[in-house]
Amino acid sequence: MSTLGILDLGYGNTDSIRLAFARLGVEADLVSDVASIEGSERLVLPGVGAAGYAMQQLRDRALVEPLRRRTRPTLGICLGMQLMFEASDEGDTECLALVGGRVRAMASAPGAPVPHMGWSKLEVLSDQLGITDGDYAYFAHGFACDDGPATAAATGYGGKRIPAALRQGPLWGAQFHPERSSTAGAAFLRAFLQS
Amino acid sequence: MPAARIIPCLDVADGRVVKGVRFRDHRDVGDIVDHALRYRDEGADELVFYDITASADGRTVDTGWIRQVSAVIDVPFSVAGGIGDVETARRCLSAGADKISVNSPALSRPDLIAELAEAFGRQCVVLGIDSSRGLDGTLTVKQFTGRPEATQLTGRSTLDWAAQATALGAGEIVLNCMDRDGVRGGYDLEQLSSLVGTVDVPVIISGGAGSMANFAAAFRAGASGALAASVFHDQRIAIPALKDFLQSEGIEVRR
C-alpha cells in the first residue's frame, strides 16, 4: 500500500520530486490513474509546463473529479499549486477550483523582471510548514496565485506580495520548488510527509 | 528581490567534468556528481552544465549524468549544449534539469524558442548569447562559438536578437561577452546594462569574472546572476568568501 504518490502526467519534473523525497528516505510511487490516486495517502501534483496542457492531461485521464474529491494530504508544486485555483490567465484555463482565487500573469517592474527566477526570502505565516521566516526558496514562475486566506507563506517581488506556500485543510502548495530549495525545501517536504 | 545568484559553469564531456581550451586538449578533472556536490556545499545558487561533446559532435545529450546530478543536488541546474529540438529538451528536463539553455540552434531557427516555451513554459527556457563588441562599439552575435574554426559572425545585433528571443518566449538570457571570456578582467558592464535596459527577463552575465569586486559591479549593473568558470574551478575565488564580500557591499545573497 503506497503512502506517497506523485502524479505523473508524462512530462516535467516528476523525477526530481521523487528524488527529493528519496533523499529524505521516502520512496514515492509515480501514479497516473484514478485507483492509485485514491490509494495514495499523500499525493503530489508536480508542475512544469503550461496550465492548459496540464488540465487537458487531467481531463483526458479523468482525474479532475478524483482530485476534487480527495480529502487526504495533497501537495501542489509550482504549476501544481496554481492548478488548485479556480482559473489561470495562462491560456485562460479553467483549473481545479479547490482554492478560491485566480492565477494571474505577473507584470515586470523595474528591477523585477518576469519570470521571477531565483532565491527569494520567505515570510512564513504558519508554524506547520517546517520552514522559518527568512529562509530562502527557489522560484521560477511567470504567473502568480491570488493572495488570500490560504496563503501560508509569502514573498515579495516587484513591490507585490506573492503567495509562496498554501495551506487549506488537506491541501498544501508551494509556488517555489522545494526539490531545488536546499535545506529549507527539504524541511518543507518533511513537514508535508508528517501532516 | 531575489538574492544575487552565483552560478558556476562546468564543462562536461562523455559524462566527466573537463577543463581546457574548449573542444581541444580537454583534461578530465573529475566526476560530475563530486563537482556538483562540492559547489552545492560551498553555496552555489545554481549550476550550469555545458555538454561540449553533444554540441561539438552533433550528438544528442546523454541524460545519464543529468539523472545522477538530479539525484544528489537540491539546487537548480541547467543543461546547455546540443539541445536543438523539443524532444531533446524534454529528455533533459525529464532527467532532472530545471532549465535548458539554447544558443546556436535558436539562431538558425528562432521558432525553436517559441516551441520550447509552449511545451515547458518560458521559465524553463534560457537563451545563451555569445556577444562580441566590434571596433565601432556595435554589439553583434556570434554563432557556433564552441569550435573556433566554426565560429561565425551572424551580423545580428545582440540587443535586437535578445528582444526577438524574449518576445518568442525566452525566460532568461545568459549574456556571454566573448571579448572578456577567460581574461578575468571583469564583466562587460556597459553591455550588461544595455541588455538589462532592453529586455524584461532576468539577465545572467558571463565572461570575464576575475575578482570579487567584478561580481559586485555586475549585480549593481542589474545582473540577476553571475556565471563564472575558471575563477571557481581554479579556486581563485571561494563562494563563501564571495558571498561574505557581496553582503558587506550591501548586496543580498542567500546564506
Residues B70, A186: C-beta atoms closer than 8 Å = no
pLDDT, greater one: B24 or B87: B87
Give pLDDT tens digits for B29-75.
889 999 999 999 999 999 999 988 776 666 778 889 999 999 999 99
Grid cell, residue A102, equals 485566480
- The pLDDT tens digits of the residues spanning A18-29 come to 999 999 999 999
Q: Is B62 on the interface with A (CB under 8 A)?
A: no
Give me the residue spans of the domains in chain A.
4-193
The complex's ipTM works out to 0.93
Mean pLDDT, residues B132-144 taken together? 89
What is the set of active-site residues of A? 78, 177, 179
- Chosen for mutation from A180, A183, A188, A189 (greatest number of chain B CBs closer than 10 Å) is A180
- Give residue B57's pLDDT: 67
Q: What is the mean pLDDT of residues B218-227?
A: 98
Using the predicted structure, report yes or no on whether residue A71 has a pLDDT greater than 70.
yes
pLDDT at B153: 85
Strand order in the sheet with A143-145: A93-94, A87-88, A102-105, A143-145
Establish if B253 belongs to a structural domain. no
Decide: B177 and B214 in contact? Cβ < 8 Å.
no
Q: What percent of chain B has pLDDT over 90?
A: 72
Contact A117 B171 (CB under 8 A): yes
Q: What is the mean pLDDT of residues A140-144?
A: 96
Residue A133 has pLDDT above 70, yes or no: yes
Name the DSSP letter for residue B145: T
CA angle B78, B92, B83 (to 5 degrees): 80
Question: Looking at residue B146, what is its pLDDT?
Answer: 74
B24-32 mean pLDDT: 80
Does residue A109 surpass a pLDDT of 50?
A: yes
Residue B154 has a pLDDT of: 87
Contact check, Cβ <8 Å, A112/B1:
yes
Residue A171 near residue A98, CB atoms below 8 Å: yes
Domain count, chain B: 1
Comparing A77 with A13, which gets the higher pLDDT? A77
A4-193: CATH topology is Rossmann fold (3.40.50)
Average pLDDT, chain B: 92
- The reply to whether B75 touches chain A by the CB within 8 Å rule is yes
Give the count of Cβ contacts less than 8 A between chain A and B: 116
On the question of pLDDT at B217 being above 60, the answer is yes
Q: What is the mean pLDDT of residues B185-206?
A: 96
Please tell me the predicted confidence (pLDDT) of residue A1: 40
pLDDT score at B58: 67
Residue B255 lies in a domain: no
Q: Which of B1, B39, B67, B224 to mutate to test the interface with A (most CBs of A within 10 A)?
A: B1
Q: Which of A23, A48, A157 comes nearest B93 by C-beta?
A: A48
- Long-range pairs for B229-235: beta carbons < 8 A, 24 or more residues apart: B229/B8, B229/B9, B229/B10, B229/B11, B230/B182, B230/B184, B231/B184, B232/B8, B232/B39, B233/B8, B233/B10, B233/B19, B233/B29
Tell me whether residues B93 and A180 touch, CB distance under 8 A.
Answer: no
Range of A74-88, B16-30, B46-60, B145-159 with top mean pLDDT: A74-88
What are the helix (H) ranges across chain B? 32-42, 52-57, 64-72, 86-94, 104-108, 111-120, 158-168, 189-198, 212-220, 230-233, 239-248
Q: Which one of B11, B45, B51, B188 is the catalytic residue?
A: B11
Catalytic, B31? Answer no
DSSP secondary structure string, B165-190?
HHHHT--EEEEEEGGGTTT-S---HH
Could you give the CA distance from residue A184 to residue A187 in angstroms, rounded to a whole number? 5
Q: What is the pLDDT of residue A48?
A: 66
CA B228 to chain centre: 8
* CB-CB under 8 Å, A136 with B254: yes
Give the chain B residue whose CA is nearest to the CA of A184: B74
At B218, which CATH number? 3.20.20.70
Q: Among residues of chain B, what percentage have pLDDT more than 70?
A: 95
Confidence of residue B237 (pLDDT cuts 50, 70, 90): very high
Q: Name the band, by pLDDT with cuts 50, 70 and 90, for residue A2.
A: low
pLDDT tens profile B80-108: 988 999 999 999 999 999 999 999 999 99
Res B21 pLDDT > 60? no
| A159 shares contact with chain B (CB less than 8 Å) | no
B51 is catalytic: no
**Is residue A69 within a helix (H) or strand (E), and if so which, with residue range?**
helix A64-69
